[in-house]
Amino acid sequence: MAADAGVDPALVHHYFGSKDDLFLAALELPVDPRVLLAPVVAAGPEDAGARLLRTFLGVWDDPGNQLTFLGLFRSVLEPDGGRLISQGFVPVVLEPVGHGLGLDRPEVRMSLVASQMIGLIMARYLLRLEPLASMEPELLVETYAPTIQRYLTGDLPA
């Protein structure tokens, strides 16, 4: 990729450490999702769905973060915007969570988790669909966590 941009790959490594670090730096996020998700991973797979959702809602419900994240999410809706999710967010942020939790088939499981997160972002933050938009975070956790947990640790079709 660096070569496609006419940049020496060694410079990317020198300034950013890795391709993943470059991806996150380019997004100019107010938080590093890998740092935020480290405690989710450290606590293991049991109840990881609830911890993941609490972390996610804590970041998205913070007024200081919302404009940045909404702008980023809107770019996903542009032509070729899906690559941001499929080639960025899922492999850089979510799949390492699946690997860290020791899940089998983390690429499948974390894509399923992403589908729930994207739907929640769309309904709660972009479309402001009521009562979802004003629902208390803990009620959202109680509602969504069982599905997320099933995606993380439940049986998957072959």
98-140 pLDDT, tens digit per residue, is 999 999 999 999 999 999 999 999 999 999 999 999 999 999 9
- Mark whether 26 and 36 lie in a shared domain: no
Q: Is the pLDDT of residue 5 over 70?
A: no
Q: Is residue 158 part of a domain?
A: no
Nearest CA to 150 out of 40, 50, 37 is that of 50
Which pLDDT does position 91 carry in this prediction?
82
Confidence of residue 32 (pLDDT cuts 50, 70, 90): confident
* Ramachandran sector of residue 66 (left: φ over 0; alpha: ψ -120 to 50; beta: rest): alpha
* DSSP class of 91: I
- Mark whether 35 and 20 lie in a shared domain: no
Is the Cβ–Cβ distance between 9 and 3 less than 8 Å? yes
Q: Write the pLDDT tens digit of every residue in 55-108.
A: 999 999 999 888 887 887 887 778 877 777 777 778 888 899 999 999 999 999
Distance CA 135, CA 11 (A): 46
State the CB neighbour count (10 A cutoff) for residue 91: 17
Distance CA 102, CA 153 (A): 10
Confidence of residue 43 (pLDDT cuts 50, 70, 90): very high
- Mark whether 41 and 113 lie in a shared domain: yes
Distance CA 52, CA 82 (A): 22
Q: Which two tokens stand for residue 22?
A: 């470059």
- Mark whether 5 and 68 lie in a shared domain: no
Number of domains in the chain: 2
Looking at per-residue confidence, does 30 or 53 come out higher?
A: 53
- Chain centre to alpha carbon of residue 38: 13
Which pLDDT does position 10 carry in this prediction?
54
Which pLDDT does position 6 carry in this prediction?
57
Distance CA 129, CA 122 (A): 9
Which pLDDT does position 13 carry in this prediction?
46
Nearest CA to 112 out of 85, 152, 55, 80 is that of 152
Looking at per-residue confidence, does 6 or 67 come out higher?
A: 67
Q: Does the global pTM surpass 0.85?
A: no
Confidence of residue 29 (pLDDT cuts 50, 70, 90): low
- Mark whether 26 and 97 lie in a shared domain: no
Range of the domain at 2: 1-30
- Mark whether 64 and 131 lie in a shared domain: yes
